[in-house]
Each structure stands twice: as structure tokens, then as C-alpha cells.
């Protein structure tokens, strides 16, 4: 297929080529993979500023999306690539294969750097989903930082840079500039831009940005950051958000309130206990969805309210394909027991969904939230249970609401009234405001 880039895509291609270190914050659907590959093509074969390229991406994106984009566009056919996923034997074979671009999943960064025995000789690194490196204590972050001084060019790609707040940005930009803009140490970053928020004596659980901290942070990173939102540059399909409320019975409500207030619930089948507030929130989300794990990790049914609502929504789709997002394993098991569904897990599943041959598909945001193009298979997404992660929430929505979608996208949230479901939805909306301010602060203005 012939690649005819939009004006904004040309702008970003040039930005990547002229900025050896950069963060490219592109909204979902703007084509960041094809943009990056086009820039790499020029860096490899025109200016010769890149020689060995490593792409780090989520597993399914590494395995499916990057190879598919290279194979798709005519101008990229001269690029050679190798995909280092799968067994250790397969990964080593892929790494030894001579290629312009080597693609590896983020879970194997530590293995590549510390265990593979193969010298790290990549001068150019693309981190697809830069937010995957937001935890400075993670093994992948520490491993990449060990070889970061050897890397001459690095590009961080994401549409969700600060899904859980501004604290995420320190590690992400440390990977890019080794601490030049936001400080070499997380403690310095905290002291400069935040103050303690929730605490218990000397133990601090969370931090709150100081007044004006967001603007100060954005100014510090603006020289290597480009940001664009899809709505500014594409004719996006219409998006309809809908909350589908369900009500608990009096008995079900009493059980929910008992656990919420006492952290203990006695059921005929078993006892349920929550050790702390974090565990309690998870238990309450389970109850809102209709089942809960006991202390032995066995699921106990509480109600079928959301299953009934899901049946109504599937019926209301009138035969159109429906994608259902679930969170807990017992959600999936109960959905499977009621409906004939197929999980989106493999490349074949993705092809069949996009071919329109799967009436009801189920997807877990953590395993398939990033980078997968599912817009050809349907336009209806139903959230059976919500997640606290804004990143996974937005990325999952963007599987359908993106460029190339020909129909109005409808996203349903099945919400159990009077439960933690409403708090989660409110939290997602609140976090979105923080992230949108970051996007707006570094938004690129195309040349008029």
C-alpha cells in the first residue's frame, strides 16, 4: 500500500529525525508506528544516523503490530526486521539474525541486557508505550538504564504519558534523557514538584503536586516532547459513552455494605476478609461485578445483575459484533457460562474479529490494551467491570475508537449503583483531566 502521510505525520517524522532524544505523545489512532518506521527508514538509509535499531513494545504489539506495519507499506519493504519473542531459543535466533530492526517485548528487556549473553550494540531504541517504564523500581527500567549511555538515539512513544498522575513522568523521562530535565533522582523530583499527601506518621502513601508544578514540569520537558490529539488532526468517528446502571437487591446490598464497613463478610460458602483498604477496593469491585474470591481464591457467586445487563446490551446490538472488556478471571468464567464468546488472545483471533466473524468477543485490558487494531471488526465496546488504570481504560477504548473506524463507536459501562463502580468511573475522569493538561501543554502547532 502506498504511504501518503498527513501533514501532522510529516511533522512528527521530521521531529523524530531532528531530535535524537524525544517523547512522542500521539493520541491513539494517529499512526505512531508508521510514522516512526518512516523516520527510521530515513535515519538508516538516507542520513545514516542509525545503524542498529531496537524496538521495545508490549508482547502482542511486538509480535503483530510492528511486523504488520512494515509489511503493509510499500516504502518500508526494504527494511529487514526480526521479532525476538517466544522461547529463549527463538529469541536468541531472532537476535542473531541480521536485521535493520529487532523487535522485542518489554518483558524480556532484562533478559536481553543481563541474561542473553548477546552484546547490546543497538545505537537507536524505540520504546513503544513509554508508560511501560513509569516504575523506576521495575527490572525492565533498571536494565534499560544500564545500557542507556550506549544508546545514541531514543524515542519514547505513548498516548497515555501520565495516566496515574505527574509522578509517572520522572521514570519515563529518565529513560529518555538520563535525568537531565526532571532530575537524576526520584527524591529530587518529589522535593521540587510535590508535597506529601496521604500519610501515616512518617510513612507517606501519596504525593500531591505543588501549586504550579504541572506547568513547571511541562516547561522542563517541552524541548524534547511533541504532543498531538487525534481530534485535532483526524476526522474521528462519533463516540457515544453510555452508563448502563444495575441495582442490587436488599440482601445483596447488605452483604456489600457489611464487607465495606467491617472488611469481613461471612457467607454460607466461606468467609471473605480484606486485609487493607487496597484489598477492600478489589473485593468490592468483585462484588459489584457479581462474584468474589474467598480466602482460598475460590469464586463465590453474589449476583447476576451485570450478566443480565450484558445480555440486554448484546441483544440490543441486533447482531452487530460486540467487544466485552472484563477484569477478574471469575468475570470471564461467568460470561463464558452464559454466552458463546471468544477471547481475543492470538493473531488468529485478531484476524477473525476484524473479518467480522466473531459475534461476541472478550478482551482483558492488561493483555490486549495497547496497539491492537480492532476497529474493522465492530464498533461496540461493553465494560463489564472497570479498571483503576486510566492507561488501560483509554487504550482499550482506542481499539475501536480510532482512525479507520467507519461507524459510530458506542462504549457502554455496566455500573452497579451505590457501589465502588461509580468511584472508579469518577477517578478515571479525574485522571483524564490531569493527562489532558499534559497533552495540551506540549501540543504541537503545525506550520500554517
Residue 338 maps to a domain:
yes
Same domain for 141 and 285? no
Same domain for 317 and 254? no
pLDDT in single tens digits along all 448 residues of the chain:
899 998 889 999 999 999 999 999 987 678 899 999 999 999 999 999 999 999 999 887 898 889 989 998 999 999 999 999 999 999 999 999 999 999 999 999 999 999 999 999 999 999 998 988 999 999 999 999 999 999 999 999 988 777 678 888 999 999 999 999 999 999 999 999 998 877 777 777 778 889 999 899 999 999 999 988 766 776 778 888 889 899 999 999 998 888 888 777 766 666 677 767 677 888 889 999 999 988 888 899 999 999 999 998 998 887 889 999 999 999 999 999 999 999 998 888 888 988 889 999 999 998 765 557 788 888 899 999 998 888 889 889 888 887 777 788 889 999 999 998 988 888 887 766 665 655 565 555 443 3
Same domain for 271 and 340? no
| Final residue of a structural domain among 202, 234, 266 | 234
Same domain for 169 and 276? no
Give me the residue label for grid cell 487493607: 276
Residue 369 maps to a domain:
yes
In this predicted structure, what is the pLDDT of residue 394?
86
Same domain for 88 and 183? yes
Domain that holds residue 297: 249-302
Distance CA 204, CA 158 (A): 29
Burial zone of 187 (CB within 10 Å; 0-12 exposed, 13-18 middle, 19+ buried) = exposed
Residue 445 maps to a domain:
no
Q: What is the CATH number of the domain that holds 370?
A: 3.40.50.300
Same domain for 155 and 126? yes
Q: Total domain count for the chain?
A: 3
Residue 173 maps to a domain:
yes
In this predicted structure, what is the pLDDT of residue 207?
82
Q: What is the CATH number of the domain that holds 61?
A: 3.40.50.10810
Residue 63 maps to a domain:
yes
Same domain for 309 and 332? yes
Same domain for 107 and 171? yes
Please enumerate in sequence order all residues whose Cβ is within 8 A of that of 442, keeping only pairs 6 or more positions apart, or say none: 25, 218, 221, 222, 225, 226, 227
CB 320 within 8 A of CB 378: yes
Residue 433 maps to a domain:
no
Same domain for 116 and 229? yes
Residue 16 maps to a domain:
yes
Query: Distances from the Cα of 121 to the Cαs of 91, 94, 150, in angstroms?
Result: 16, 15, 8
Same domain for 355 and 223? no
Residue 45 maps to a domain:
yes
In this predicted structure, what is the pLDDT of residue 92?
95
Same domain for 123 and 163? yes
Same domain for 151 and 18? yes
Amino acid at each position: 500500500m502506498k504511504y501518503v502521510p498527513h501533514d501532522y505525520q510529516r511533522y512528527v517524522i521530521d521531529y523524530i529525525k531532528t531530535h535524537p532524544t524525544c517523547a512522542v505523545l500521539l493520541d491513539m489512532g494517529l499512526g505512531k508506528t508508521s510514522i516512526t518506521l518512516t523516520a527510521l527508514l530515513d535515519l538508516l538509509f538516507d542520513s545514516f544516523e542509525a545503524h542498529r535499531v531496537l524496538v521495545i513494545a508490549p508482547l502482542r504489539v511486538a509480535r503483530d503490530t510492528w511486523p504488520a506495519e512494515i509489511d503493509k507499506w510499500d516504502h518500508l519493504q526494504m527494511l529487514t526486521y526480526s521479532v525476538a519473542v517466544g522461547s529463549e531459543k527463538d529469541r536468541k535466533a531472532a537476535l542473531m539474525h541480521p536485521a535493520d530492526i529487532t523487535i522485542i517485548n518489554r518483558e524480556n528487556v532484562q533478559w536481553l541486557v543481563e541474561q542473553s549473553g548477546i552484546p547490546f550494540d543497538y545505537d537507536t531504541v524505540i520504546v513503544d508505550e513509554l508508560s511501560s517504564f513509569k516504575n523506576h523500581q521495575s527490572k525492565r527500567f533498571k536494565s534499560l538504564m544500564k545500557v542507556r549511555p550506549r544508546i545514541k538515539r531514543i524515542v519514547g512513544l505513548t498516548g497515555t504519558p501520565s495516566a496515574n498522575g505527574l509522578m509517572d513522568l520522572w521514570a519515563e523521562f529518565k529513560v529518555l534523557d538520563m535525568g537531565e530535565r526532571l532530575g537524576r533522582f526520584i527524591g529530587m523530583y518529589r522535593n521540587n514538584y510535590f508535597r506529601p499527601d496521604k500519610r501515616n506518621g512518617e510513612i507517606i502513601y501519596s504525593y500531591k503536586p505543588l501549586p504550579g508544578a504541572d506547568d513547571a514540569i511541562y516547561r522542563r520537558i517541552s524541548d524534547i516532547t511533541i504532543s498531538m490529539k487525534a481530534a485535532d488532526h483526524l476526522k474521528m468517528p462519533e463516540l457515544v459513552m453510555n452508563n448502563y446502571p444495575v441495582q442490587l437487591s436488599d440482601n445483596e446490598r447488605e452483604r456489600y455494605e457489611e464487607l465495606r464497613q467491617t472488611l469481613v463478610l461471612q457467607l454460607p460458602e466461606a468467609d471473605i476478609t480484606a486485609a487493607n483498604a487496597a484489598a477492600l477496593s478489589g473485593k468490592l469491585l468483585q462484588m459489584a461485578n457479581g462474584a468474589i474470591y474467598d480466602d482460598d481464591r475460590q469464586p463465590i457467586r453474589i449476583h447476576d445483575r451485570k450478566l443480565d445487563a450484558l445480555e440486554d446490551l448484546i441483544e440490543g446490538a441486533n447482531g452487530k459484533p460486540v467487544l466485552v472488556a472484563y477484569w477478574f478471571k471469575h468475570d470471564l468464567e461467568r460470561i463464558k457460562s452464559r454466552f458463546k464468546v471468544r477471547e481475543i488472545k492470538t493473531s488468529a483471533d485478531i484476524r477473525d474479529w476484524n473479518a467480522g466473524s466473531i459475534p461476541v468477543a472478550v478482551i482483558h485490558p492488561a493483555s490486549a490494551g495497547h496497539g491492537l487494531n480492532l476497529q474493522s471488526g465492530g464498533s461496540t465496546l461493553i465494560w463489564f467491570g472497570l479498571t483503576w488504570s486510566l492507561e488501560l481504560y483509554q487504550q482499550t477504548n482506542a481499539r475501536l475508537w480510532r482512525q479507520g473506524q467507519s461507524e459510530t463507536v458506542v462504549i457502554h459501562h455496566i455500573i452497579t449503583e451505590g457501589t465502588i463502580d461509580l468511584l472508579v468511573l469518577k477517578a478515571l475522569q479525574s485522571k483524564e483531566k490531569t493527562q489532558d493538561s499534559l497533552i495540551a501543554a506540549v501540543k504541537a502547532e503545525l506550520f500554517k
